[in-house]
């Protein structure tokens, strides 16, 4: 780097020369291990000249960000050891695992978890050989990586995960290295605003460290190519106090980083002490200007400066494998050996390959070691929620399908009590939709977290609070990141969002589900963490007024592609079933629970006790809605989802009137995975039980909330699948009335009744008049909707006559 343009906030030198030399040696050990993981399959300590057979047959890994990340880690170690700090490390740059693995191994924590990779030469070689190898460990911070709550395979979530971890953890400091490539992603760019939601009196702190090494895979990074004043103004505008540490000469950089970290930690402690001194006056807390660090170092720092005449260090070519052909190119083999020997491993490790004692003494001990911090294995800290009795919140009514009520209004009363009982371990997340989704009943015990500026008019229904438990921000990415960070560190929550826009976090859900599957099935040392609970509401069938863009129930298809060990889908038909499902989900761990329930008033079907039994079974025959009287039915009408259930019931009532001798079995599905065989999903039904409910040869008219193909996918190898006729959303919509939307997608009562008549041979002829009447009703319903702008009274006010 050009010393003329280096800018650092402080040039103090707080570290004594002897300690500085040891810190640099420890850092060299980290870098040696990081490079060794990429290249070596033998001769791990270079006890003999490097030969082609010592090189891995396939070179995989990423070098570019490792030296900078280890640089941060070793300086955190110094302050943790000196001041007994509680620090969690989040590695944001993609594929930065060599740095975290090296530091965990050197501190002795990695060998405690993986004894075969012991803290000696034999274990070092096993670590090298396992890295990025089949059956080994990944090149990014996978669940197998001690100390990680953030994989980093998909970029953009490091800061939101960090803030989620800091919420309600007042003693915790989350040091978060943000890659400058990662900083270009939408989720990361938005998550800088998380500082407006961090309460210094009750939460921990996040120390963002923007690693400005200048390059991505093959391009410069934006933030590294803007003027210094512009960069500083950007982060001041975000509300941070940026501290700059810039350079490439190790001795000077060690002093700058040590001084800057000391100042940042002191500022954090001062901010927290000032806020916590307020005591009972917590509402007077104002947003502080939290410190952050901009660390500008060369990409691939300390690596080869040139390879084959091309610039490598401080350029994008150092991103992955800087020397690509050492096994077949003797000149580059020599270059690799010179690079590795530049770290002087003979000074760092003893004759057994252990880190020498003076360097081992630099690492913190026990759970103060960064990779051993229990917050990174949040199941160790997990405590069950103090749960109220759902029966105290039951919606009471006298007759099934006779009364309308909003399910989420009923749920809100229950969540209000859950929140009241768990004021430091439960949060409700939602993108500016808590009131819209009719969950605002929780405001009676806690408002919306807000540590930004307020105006007098906010007191008029704004429900803003510096210590609120409701987390609202118009970024599904940031909310999901907070939520994941919160549960991965052992706490609980619920994320409520519009159905059409839960797709914004499709890939975040994918990544978290993959994390859970690995942690749950392959890593005994990772303890179970609370489940991610997603309440999908503002559903497709009541988005008639918002139009086509708000009509998309396809998130369920995404969920069903994940491991059956970690995903669950529940479709409660009414409020009491929603209570039962929510109560169950909040008690679970290591799942992503998806609950599909609308916010608008819907018919209510089951008493609380009936709902508990029905939800426990996950699927059931509703005798009161059936006409088969326990005999073999002519047809089965099945349903999953609130509108799907109401329209299916209305179809039964029509058929009772027009085809009185028709034997109908009515089936409702709450747990969608009950449709699968038990050999394919833990919640699946055995074939004999499925056949008992759906029959082996009778037509099944299935009215489904989402896309019809999903039911076919789940039931494709069932005995009676050929007779499974699924109605659902068919990607047809506009500004409609609710019933017109149902008609154009074929989930309305009239279309269902016609389908039943067509599928039962013995009434195909006698049902002709009924079909004519049903077709006329469809035409009249559409005409009325277009002329009046609403649905007919008999549709809007329909109840079950019994």
Backbone dihedral angles phi then psi of residue 451, each to the nearest 5 degrees? -115, 10
CATH code: domain of residue 350: 3.40.50.970
- Distance of alpha carbon 538 from alpha carbon 522, whole angstroms: 37
Same domain assignment for residues 176 and 28: yes
- Condensed to tens digits (0 to 9), the pLDDT of residues 230-280 reads 999 999 999 999 999 999 999 999 999 999 999 999 999 999 999 999 764
Query: pLDDT averaged over the chain?
Result: 96
pLDDT of residue 7: 73
- Condensed to tens digits (0 to 9), the pLDDT of residues 186-211 reads 999 999 999 999 999 999 999 999 99
Going by C-alpha positions, the residue among 205, 44, 21, 45 that lies closest to residue 130 is: 44
Same domain assignment for residues 741 and 658: yes
Q: What is the mean pLDDT of residues 114-130?
A: 98
For 549, residues 6+ apart whose C-beta sits below 8 A from its C-beta are 500
- Condensed to tens digits (0 to 9), the pLDDT of residues 744-795 reads 999 999 999 999 999 999 997 888 999 999 999 999 999 999 999 999 999 9
CATH code: domain of residue 633: 3.40.50.920
- Distance of alpha carbon 274 from alpha carbon 703, whole angstroms: 59
End-to-end CA distance of the chain: 82
**Could you tell me the pLDDT band of residue 10, with boundaries at 50, 70 and 90?**
confident
Same domain assignment for residues 599 and 631: no
Whether 571 has a pLDDT exceeding 50, the answer reads yes
**Could you tell me the pLDDT band of residue 281, with boundaries at 50, 70 and 90?**
low
Contact between residue 462 and residue 444 where contact means Cβ atoms under 8 Å apart = no
Residue 340 is part of which domain span? 9-86+120-128+156-365
Same domain assignment for residues 559 and 632: no
Contact between residue 715 and residue 675 where contact means Cβ atoms under 8 Å apart = yes
Question: Chain-centre distance of CA 348, in angstroms?
Answer: 40
Helices H / strands E in the chain, number of each:
25, 22
Tell me if 533 is assigned to some domain. Answer: yes
pLDDT of residue 584: 99
Predicted TM-score (pTM) of the model is: 0.96
Same domain assignment for residues 354 and 406: no
Whether 282 has a pLDDT exceeding 80, the answer reads no
Whether 12 has a pLDDT exceeding 90, the answer reads no
Looking at residue 530, the DSSP 8-state letter turns out to be: B
Contact between residue 245 and residue 59 where contact means Cβ atoms under 8 Å apart = no
- Condensed to tens digits (0 to 9), the pLDDT of residues 344-359 reads 999 999 999 999 999 9
Same domain assignment for residues 297 and 427: no
Whether 6 has a pLDDT exceeding 70, the answer reads no
The proportion of the chain whose per-residue pLDDT surpasses 70, expressed as a percent, equals: 99
Whether 643 has a pLDDT exceeding 90, the answer reads yes
Same domain assignment for residues 359 and 414: no
Tell me if 372 is assigned to some domain. Answer: no
pLDDT of residue 13: 87
Distances (CA, A) of 446 to 314, 411, 443, 585, 677: 50, 16, 5, 22, 43
For 788, residues 6+ apart whose C-beta sits below 8 A from its C-beta are none
Q: What is the mean pLDDT of residues 712-720?
A: 97
Tell me if 95 is assigned to some domain. Answer: no
- Condensed to tens digits (0 to 9), the pLDDT of residues 306-320 reads 999 999 999 999 899
Whether 667 has a pLDDT exceeding 70, the answer reads yes
For 106, residues 6+ apart whose C-beta sits below 8 A from its C-beta are 26, 29, 30, 33, 119, 355, 359, 360, 363
Whether 4 has a pLDDT exceeding 50, the answer reads no
Q: What is the mean pLDDT of residues 487-513?
A: 97
Q: What is the mean pLDDT of residues 150-170?
A: 95
| Strand partners for 86 | 172
Same domain assignment for residues 352 and 277: yes
Going by C-alpha positions, the residue among 524, 175, 495, 517 that lies closest to residue 379 is: 524
Tell me if 94 is assigned to some domain. Answer: no
Question: pLDDT higher for 497 or 546?
Answer: 497
How many structural domains comprise the chain? 3
Q: What is the mean pLDDT of residues 63-75?
A: 97
Contact between residue 115 and residue 109 where contact means Cβ atoms under 8 Å apart = no
pLDDT of residue 95: 83
Look at the chain and count its residues: 802
Contact between residue 587 and residue 765 where contact means Cβ atoms under 8 Å apart = no
pLDDT of residue 630: 82
């Amino acid at each position: 780097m050009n010393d003329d343009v280096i800018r650092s906030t402080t040039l103090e030198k707080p570290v004594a020369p002897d300690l500085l030399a040891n810190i640099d040696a420890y850092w060299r050990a980290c870098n040696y291990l990081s490079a060794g993981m990429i290249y070596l399959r033998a001769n791990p300590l270079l006890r003999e000249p490097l030969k082609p057979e010592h090189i891995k047959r396939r070179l995989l890994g990423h070098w570019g960000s490792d030296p900078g990340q280890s640089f941060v880690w070793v300086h955190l170690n110094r302050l943790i050891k000196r001041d007994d700090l509680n620090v969690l490390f989040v590695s944001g740059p993609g594929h930065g695992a060599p740095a975290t693995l090296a530091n965990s191994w050197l501190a002795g924590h990695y060998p405690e978890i993986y004894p075969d990779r012991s803290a000696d030469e034999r274990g070092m070689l096993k670590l090298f050989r396992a890295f990025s190898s089949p059956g080994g460990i990944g090149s990014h911070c996978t669940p197998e990586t001690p100390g990680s709550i953030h994989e980093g395979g998909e970029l953009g979530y490091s800061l939101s995960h960090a803030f989620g971890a800091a919420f309600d953890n007042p003693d915790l400091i989350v040091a978060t290295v943000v890659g400058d490539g990662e900083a270009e992603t939408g989720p990361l760019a938005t998550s800088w605003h998380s500082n407006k939601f961090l309460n210094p009196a009750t939460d921990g702190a996040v120390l963002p460290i923007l690693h400005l090494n200048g390059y991505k895979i093959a391009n410069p990074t934006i933030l590294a190519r803007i003027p210094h004043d512009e960069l500083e103004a950007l982060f001041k505008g975000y509300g941070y106090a940026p501290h700059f540490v810039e350079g490439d000469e190790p001795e000077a950089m060690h002093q700058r980083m040590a001084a800057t970290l000391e100042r940042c930690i002191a500022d954090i402690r001062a901010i927290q002490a000032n806020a916590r001194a307020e005591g009972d006056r917590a509402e007077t807390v104002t947003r502080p200007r939290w410190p952050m660090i901009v660390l500008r170092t060369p990409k691939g720092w300390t690596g080869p400066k040139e390879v084959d005449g091309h610039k490598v260090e401080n350029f994008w070519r150092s991103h992955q494998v800087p020397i690509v052909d050492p096994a077949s190119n003797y000149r580059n083999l020599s270059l690799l050996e010179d690079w590795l020997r530049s770290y002087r491993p003979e000074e760092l490790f003893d004759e057994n390959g252990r880190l020498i004692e003076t360097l081992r003494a630099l690492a913190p001990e026990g759970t103060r070691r960064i990779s051993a911090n229990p917050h990174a294995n949040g199941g160790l800290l997990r405590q069950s929620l103090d749960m109220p009795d759902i029966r105290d919140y039951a919606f009471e009514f006298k007759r099934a399908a006779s009364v309308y009520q909003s399910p989420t209004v009923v749920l809100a009363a229950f969540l209000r009590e859950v929140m009241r009982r768990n004021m430091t371990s439960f949060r409700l997340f939602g993108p500016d939709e808590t009131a819209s989704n009719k969950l605002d009943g929780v405001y009676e015990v806690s408002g919306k977290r807000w540590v930004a500026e307020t105006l007098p008019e906010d007191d008029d229904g704004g429900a803003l609070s510096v210590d609120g438990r409701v987390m609202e921000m118009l970024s599904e990415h940031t909310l999901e990141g907070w939520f994941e960070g919160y549960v991965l560190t052992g706490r609980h929550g619920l994320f409520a969002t519009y159905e059409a826009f839960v797709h914004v976090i499709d890939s975040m859900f994918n990544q978290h589900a993959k994390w859970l599957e690995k942690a749950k099935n392959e890593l005994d040392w990772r303890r179970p963490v609370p489940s991610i609970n997603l309440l999908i509401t503002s559903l497709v069938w009541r988005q008639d007024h918002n139009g086509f863009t708000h009509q998309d129930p396809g998130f369920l298809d995404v969920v069903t592609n994940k491991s059956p060990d970690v995903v669950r889908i529940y479709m409660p038909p009414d409020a009491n079933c929603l209570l039962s499902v929510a109560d169950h989900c909040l008690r679970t761990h290591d799942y992503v629970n998806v609950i599909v329930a609308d916010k608008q008033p819907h018919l209510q079907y089951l008493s609380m006790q009936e709902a508990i039994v029905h939800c426990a079974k996950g699927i059931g025959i509703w005798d009161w809605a059936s006409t088969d009287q326990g005999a073999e039915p002519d047809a089965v009408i099945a349903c999953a989802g609130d509108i799907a259930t109401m329209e299916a019931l209305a179809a039964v009532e029509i058929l009772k009137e027009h085809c009185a001798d028709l034997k109908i079995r009515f089936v409702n599905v709450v747990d969608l995975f009950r449709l699968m065989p038990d050999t394919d999903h833990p919640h699946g039904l055995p074939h004999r039980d499925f056949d008992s409910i759906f029959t082996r040869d009778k037509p099944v008219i299935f009215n489904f909330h989402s896309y019809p193909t999903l039911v076919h996918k789940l039931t494709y190898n069932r005995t009676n699948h050929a007779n499974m006729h699924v109605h659902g959303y068919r990607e047809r919509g506009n500004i409609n009335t609710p019933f017109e939307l149902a008609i154009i997608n074929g989930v309305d009562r009239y279309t269902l009744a016609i389908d039943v008549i067509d599928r039962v041979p013995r009434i195909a002829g006698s049902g002709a008049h009924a079909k004519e009447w049903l077709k006329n009703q469809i035409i009249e319903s559409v005409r009325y909707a277009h002329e009046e702008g609403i649905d007919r009274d008999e549709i809007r006010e329909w109840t079950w006559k019994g």
